[in-house]
Every structure is written in structure tokens, then in C-alpha cells.
Chains A and B, each alone.
Chain A
Amino acid sequence: MTHLLSSLVIMLLGVAACGFYFVFSNWLLLRIFPVRRVSLQQQAVNIQRAALIRPWLFLAPALGFLGLYLVYPVVESVRLSLFDRGGDAFVGVANYRWLFASEEFQESLLNNLLWLLVVPACSTFLGLVIAAMTDKVRWGNIAKSLVFMPMAISFIGASIIWKFIYEYRGEGSEQIGLLNAVVEYLGGTAQPWITLHFWNNLFLMVILVWIQTGFAMVILSAALRGIPEETVEAAVLDGANGVQIFFKIMIPQIWSTIAVVWTTITITVLKVFDIVLAMTNGQWKTQVLANMMYDWMFRGGGDFGRGAAIAVIIMVAVIPVMIWNIRQANAQMEGR
């Protein structure tokens, strides 16, 4: 309880410190470059100088945090990936050589690739279909809200929810997991799904699809509503049916949004870690890069060199999306 109180105090202190910084720096700036009680000419010069400095005062705390917590670590991770487990001795590309020879890494890479193919595709497709359908029913907003809900649930919480669904009880006893109960109802045999290689990967992916579909749906639904009605009306007049309108008129107009959704989910997939950690911890050939990295960070006291090397691999996979995003953002700014 005392922690909670101290957190409230810290929150107030933090806000006060931010406020104080901004007020104080602004006051200091006005002291150094006064605009009152100076000659008109000096006033103009001072206003100009203050205007030159003020943006950097506004930006300084943010840039400080970004530099310390994101930019510096990226550089440092690349450096550490060339050093040994404690980060003391330079080992060249030994960590990468080890990585590419390691079976665990190859398995993770393959699984990650599978995740990258399946999860963004399924989430985007389902999101699009659900967005199109819920727009057509009166209670669509309630439906959207419920499909969107898993977004609020932590990956760990979602893992528990789905572990309960995949729960396996030995043969002969009543299955309390929904999946096995359905399988038995349909005449099949219950299976410990999480341990069956290859398919178990898909069962883990279902969890992320379940979470991400709502995100895809919300964004695509807004894009669908943004389609000019004239285009749809023209197609109706030309005798197109619903399916044709959807695939030939609506989809082409929202391609860029689909790409945004796809890439955003791709990034999430690359970072997925909690689900694998909670469901299997990489056993039964379900290892992925992010979980492997976490594992090496602490395994046997922690191997920072190898951990950093895996992180760099994840980063390399992210870079194309990063470049694409920056280009899109630049184009958007120029367009305005």
C-alpha cells in the first residue's frame, strides 16, 4: 500500500518536475533575451533568438528519453552483439556464427516466418470481413466492441484463456477444455494440442489472431466508411453484385490502409514473446526469436552477447517496415 502511495507522490512529483522544467526554462529564456525594457531593435533580435532556442527547450526532455532509452540501446546492442557473454571481450562475429549454426535459432526463424505469414494475413482478412459485415447490421457497434475487446487483455491473460480451451485430460476422463470437448463430441480423440509439433504453432497463433483481429477491424471499418459512395452507386447501376462491389470496388480503394494494418501486425508478431513464454516456453518446437532472446538474456546468468545478437536479427527484420513507415509519413506530411 505504501508503494501505491509513493507512486502517487512520484506521479505528482514527475508532473510537477515537468511543469517546473518548462516554466523555469521559459523564464530563464526570457531573462537572457528580455523583450521588455529594451530598445525596439534589441527586442526584435531577442524575440528572434528566443524563438530559435525555445523549440529545443520544448523538445529536450523528450529527446533525452528517446536518446537514452531507444537510440543509444540500438547502437549499444549492435556493439554488444560483437562481444562475449559479459560484454567485455571483443569476439567479432562469433555470436552470429554460433547463432546461424544453432538448431534452436533455425527453428525459431522458421517459426517466426510461419507466424509472419499466418497471423497478419488471418487478422487482416478476418478484420476486413468482420468490418464489412458489422457495417451492415444495426447492432454492428456492439458486435465490433466485443470483437475488439481482446485488445484490452494482456498476452498472459489471453494465454490463460486459451490454455484453458486447449486443456487436455487423459483419455477416459471428461474433457474440461472446450476444444477437446468439441473434438470428442464430433467423434474424434482428445489430444494434448500444445505438444503436437507443427500444429501447436498454429494453436499459439490463434491467440494472437484473436487479439489482433479487433485492431484490424476497427481501422479497416473506418477506411470502408471513407469510401466515396458514388463509386459504389456507380457499380450498383452497372449491375455489379455485392461480392463484386466488395472485391473490385471497395478493396482497391483501401489498399493503403490494408498495408498499414498488415505491417503494424507484422511488427507485433516479430515482438511476440509473452504468448510463447506462457504457453510452451519454446518447448515442443514452438520457439520464436523474441522468446529465445529473453531466454539467453538470463540463461545461466545471462549471455548478453548472444542475446544482443538475436535482438539485432529481430531489428533487421523490422527495418524494411520502418523505412516504409518513414516514407509514408513523409509523403503524408508533404501532401498536406
Chain B
Amino acid sequence: MVTVTKPLSSTDSPYQSRGLLSTLRRSPLTLLTHLSVIVIVVMWTLPTAGLLISSLRDKEQLAVSGWWTSLSPSTQRLMVRSVPPDAQLEEGGRYVLRGKVSDDQALQVLAFGWSSREPAAYAVGDVAQMRKGQTLSISSNGEYELSSPEPFSGARGKRLFYTAKIPPRFGLDNYREVLTTGGIGQSFINSLTVTIPATVIPILIAAFAAYALSWMAMPGRGLLIALIVGLLVVPLQMSLIPLLRMYNQIGSTFGVDAKSYLGIWLAHTGFGLPLAIYLLRNYIANLPKEIIESARVDGANDFEIFTRIILPLSFPALASFAIFQFLWVWNDLLVATVFLGTGEQQMVLTARLREMLGSYGGNWEVLTASAFVSMAVPLLVFFSLQRYLVRGLLSGSVK
């Protein structure tokens, strides 16, 4: 089979056959190269890694400490109210309130205080003298004891301030939260709903066109190819307003919703076609002439040649385009916001993320987990089918 492009393999690297260590020993420049590549890779993956790690952290810890500290215990200043005065006991002439500042077994209290001005005035083990002869003590495991010569009054408990060392906590809580309550689950399904037909339908249409443009004699072929190359770079912005008007008109004339899945499927099909035709034509035009000519001699017509020979042989190019289109449609925000409604049943992941950025501005536990849910599918596709993506890129850029 003819490959359009040179595959990306490292077999022709001059260092391939040598051992890594001997290479390193040979030249300090090589060592420098290794180091630079490591630095680059770290710089490029760190942002995503930070997001992933953060999305797995406990949401209180996420809000107060950087994700790079997530493996070390965090020190937090917290406030809690003691049990209400109803629970007081009388012991040896004093009134006592007992309880625990937190249910967390692993929590370790370092310091405490009873006023917001000095929240860490006392070390664990000290007995804090409060007003009116009241005392407070908190032990390192979080148990506190408030005592007073007079009965405690009021409806609410007293405010206790403490500084605690909290061990790192990881879990899938954030994901559970966004998938069940945030609407992300529904949007995930909506995104799939948009993406699947919008990826598959253009392929067939483009494949036929690409074959006609490569192997069928016709007047104006060169002109059509030039037109398609030109359309490759037409900005989407040019299409939005006329199509929006058209959709609205169709919607009001026939009494249907102007923002529908059908509309967005067709729009993505139209927008994806230039690249599809271009990619597939590059590939199909480079298939060996002999195969097609011998089939013609055997009496096959173009239709048979296309379905029996061209389609099966073009699988790599079809896969390349499918991946492109999948990533593009899944990650698209513009087309989705213009042609698809923002209702619960229609909002896609990207639109949902955008909405969350507005409404949950600082809730990073929601944002990080949601963003990662939206990235999971394209990343999976990317890493499993990268080969085809690279091949598509190489034949897809106008050379």
C-alpha cells in the first residue's frame, strides 16, 4: 500500500542503536538535550496534571492550598461551634461542654483560641482562660472541653478556633458531585449525541467526492479542487449569521424549533467537508494507478471501483479524518452555542463548562472535575489513535 507520508518512527535516529548511557557519556551536548526535553515535557504536561490532581483532591483542601502541596498534610485554620448549651453537664460545681471539633480521625490539632483576633493563641494542652472564669482546652485529637462557673446560656454553642494539620485526602467525590448534580452527565450524553452523526455522515459524502476529484475525468476538476482548498480556511464566523437567519426562517415557516440536533449535525457536516474532501483526495489520488486501471479493464464501473477497491484501501485516511472531525466537533463551542439551544436536553459539555466558569467562578472542585470529564473522551481518542491523527495532519496541511 502506498503511504502518503513518511511515518513518524524513530528508527532512523542515529542514536537508536547505541545505549543511552554510552550516549550520555559521549557528549555533554546530548545530556543537555535530554535535560531540555525533560524540562519541555514537564512544562507541557504540568498544567493538565495540575488540573487532574486538583480534581481528585478534597474540596476544602483544594480551596486553600496549591495542588503541588497536595501530598503533604495541609495546615488549616478553622472555626467550629461547640455543642449548644442544652448539652451542658454539671461536674463538681462547674458547667462543662464536651465534644470534638471534627469527625476526622486523622486530624491533628496544633493550636487553638477562643477569639477571632487570636485564633491560635494557645498550644495544645494549655488551658485557655476566657472571660468570666470560663476555660477552654482542646487536645490534639480534637476533643475539647469548655467549662464555666456559671451555666452556659443562649441557643448556640461557643465559637472555637483551631489550627489543624489535615492529612492529604484524595477521592472521587468531586466527580461524583458533578456527574450527579452538575448536569455534566446529561451534557456528556448531549455531546455524544452531537458528535457521532456529525463525524460519520461527512465521511461518506466526502469519500465519493474525493474519488470523483481524483480518478474521474471531468471538466473543471482543477477549479473544484482549488475551490475546496480555498474553503478550507474560510472562517466559520462568515457562516454564522446567514445560517442562523436561515435556520430561524425555516423554524418559523414550518413551526419547528430553529435550534435542533438535526441543524447542528448538518452544520458540522458542511463545515467539516472541505477538510474531509481535501484529506481523502490527497490519499485517494495517490493510490496506485494500476489497481484502478486493471479494475476498469475488467469491466468494473466507477461505482464498483469505489465501493470495492477505494473505500477499503482508504481506511487510514478515513480514520484520520474521523479523528479530526470527532475532536473538532466534541471540542467545539461556537457552532454549538449558535445552532443548539442551551436547555438541559441540548447543552453540550463545552457550553456547560463555559456556563460553569461564569456561575461557579471560584469553585475549583466543580470546575476541575467537570473539565476533566469533558477532556477524558478526546484524550482517550488521542492517545489510542494518535498514529492516524499524525498521518492526517501530515497530509492535511497544504504543502
Check if A304 is an interface residue, CB within 8 A of chain B.
Answer: yes
Q: Which of A1, A4, A63, A73 has the most CB of B within 10 A?
A: A73
Please indicate the chain B residues that have their CB under 8 angstroms from the CB of A137 in the complex: 15, 33-34, 37
B383 contacts A145, C-beta separation under 8 Å? yes
Q: Chain A 111-144 against B: per-residue CB contact (8 Å), 1 yes, 0 no?
A: 0000000000000000000100111111011011
Chain A residues touching B, range: 35 or more
- Contact among A23, A136, A278, A325 with B232 in the assembled complex (CB-CB below 8 Å): A325
In the complex, A61→B242 CA distance in Å? 20
CB distance from B107 to the nearest CB of A (A): 19
Please tell me if A271 contacts chain B, counting CB pairs below 8 Å: yes
Interface residues of B in 5-26 (CB under 8 A from A): 5-6, 8, 10, 12-13, 15-16, 20, 23
Which of the residues A155, A173, A329 comes within 8 Å of B331, measured between beta carbons? A155
User: In angstroms, how far is the closest chain B Cβ from the Cβ of A247?
Assistant: 16
Contact, CB under 8 Å: A4 / B192: yes
Chain B contacts of A226 at CB under 8 A?
Answer: 6
Bound-complex Cα distance A300 to B240 (A):
17
How far does the Cβ of A336 sit from chain B's closest Cβ, in whole Å? 8
Interface residues on B, range: 35 or more
Nearest-neighbour CB distance to chain A for B144, whole angstroms, equals 26
Q: Which of B47, B345, B393 contacts A165 (CB 8 A)?
A: B47
Chain A residue nearest in CB terms to B212:
A58
The answer, yes or no, to whether B315 is at the interface (CB within 8 Å) is: no
A118 to B276, CA, bound (A): 30
Residues on A with C-beta less than 8 A from B67 are 176
Interchain CB contact (< 8 A) of B226 among A68, A70, A145, A330: A330
Q: How far, in Å, is A145 (CB) from chain B's closest CB? A: 6
Q: Is the CB of A59 within 8 A of B233?
A: no
Residues of chain B within 8 A (CB-CB) of A14 are 197, 200-201, 265
A62 to B270, CA, bound (A): 8
| Also in contact, A154 and B375, with CB within 8 A (given A69-B243, A137-B34, A326-B230) | yes
- Do the beta carbons of A61 and B205 come within 8 Å of each other? yes
Is B330 in contact with chain A by the CB < 8 A criterion?
A: yes
Q: Is B239 close to A, CB under 8 A?
A: yes
Given A7-B192, A304-B241: A176 and B64 interface contact (C-beta under 8 Å):
yes
Q: Which of A138, A221, A277 contacts B15 (CB 8 A)?
A: A138
A274 touches B68 (CB 8 A): no
CB atoms of B208 and A152 under 8 A apart: no
| Most chain B Cβ neighbours within 10 Å, of A6, A8, A59, A325 | A59
| Given contact pairs A149-B48, A165-B50, A73 touches B242 in the complex (Cβ within 8 A) | yes
Q: Are B238 and A314 in contact (CB under 8 A)?
A: yes
Return chain B residues, CB-CB under 8 Å to A152: 327, 331, 375, 378-379, 381-382
Q: Judge whether A141 and B8 touch: CB under 8 Å.
A: yes
Q: Which of B365-399 contact A (CB under 8 A)?
A: 367-368, 371, 374-375, 378-379, 381-383, 386, 389-390, 393-394, 397-399
**Which residues of B have CB within 8 Å of A297?**
240-241, 244, 338
Q: How many A-B residue pairs lie within 8 Å, measured between CB atoms?
A: 371
A19 on the B face (CB < 8 A): yes
User: Nearest chain-B residue to A74 (Cβ)?
Assistant: B238
Q: Which residues of A contact B240 (CB under 8 A)?
A: 73, 293-294, 297, 307, 311
A10-32 interface mask toward B, CB cutoff 8 Å, 1 = contact, 0 = none?
11001100110011001000000
- Given A61-B208, A307-B241, check contact A156 B354 (CB 8 Å): yes
Report how far A130 CA is from B201 CA in the complex, Å.
37
Q: Please, which residue of chain A has its CB at the minimum distance from the CB of B195?
A: A7
Known contacts A58-B208, A151-B382: A222-B8 contact under CB 8 Å = yes
B90 to chain A, nearest CB (A): 42
Chain B residues within 8 Å of A151, by CB: 327, 382, 389
A329 close to B225 (CB less than 8 A): yes
CB of B110 closer than 8 Å to a CB of A: no
Tell me, in angstroms, the Cα distance from A6 to B354 when the chains sit together. Answer: 26
Given A77-B242, A138-B20, A329-B229: A18 and B331 interface contact (C-beta under 8 Å): no
A34 contacts partner chain B, Cβ-Cβ < 8 Å = no
A203 within 8 A of partner (CB): no
Cβ of A332: which chain B residues have Cβ within 8 Å of it?
A: 398-399
Any B CB within 8 A of the CB of A42: no
A178 contacts B by Cβ under 8 Å: yes
Interfacial chain A residues near B382, Cβ < 8 Å: 148-149, 151-152
With known contacts A18-B205, A215-B393, A226-B6, A157–B371 Cβ distance under 8 A: yes
CB pair B233 A80 closer than 8 Å? no
The answer to whether B353 touches A157 (Cβ under 8 A) is yes
Answer yes or no: A283 CB below 8 A from chain B CBs. no
A178-B47 Cα distance, complex, nearest whole Å: 9
Which 5 A-B pairs rank lowest in CB-CB distance, beginning with the nearest?
Answer: A69-B270, A154-B331, A152-B382, A62-B209, A76-B242
Known: A151-B327, A271-B235. 10 other contacts (CB 8 A): A55-B217, A59-B212, A61-B205, A149-B382, A160-B357, A178-B47, A274-B334, A294-B334, A308-B241, A325-B233
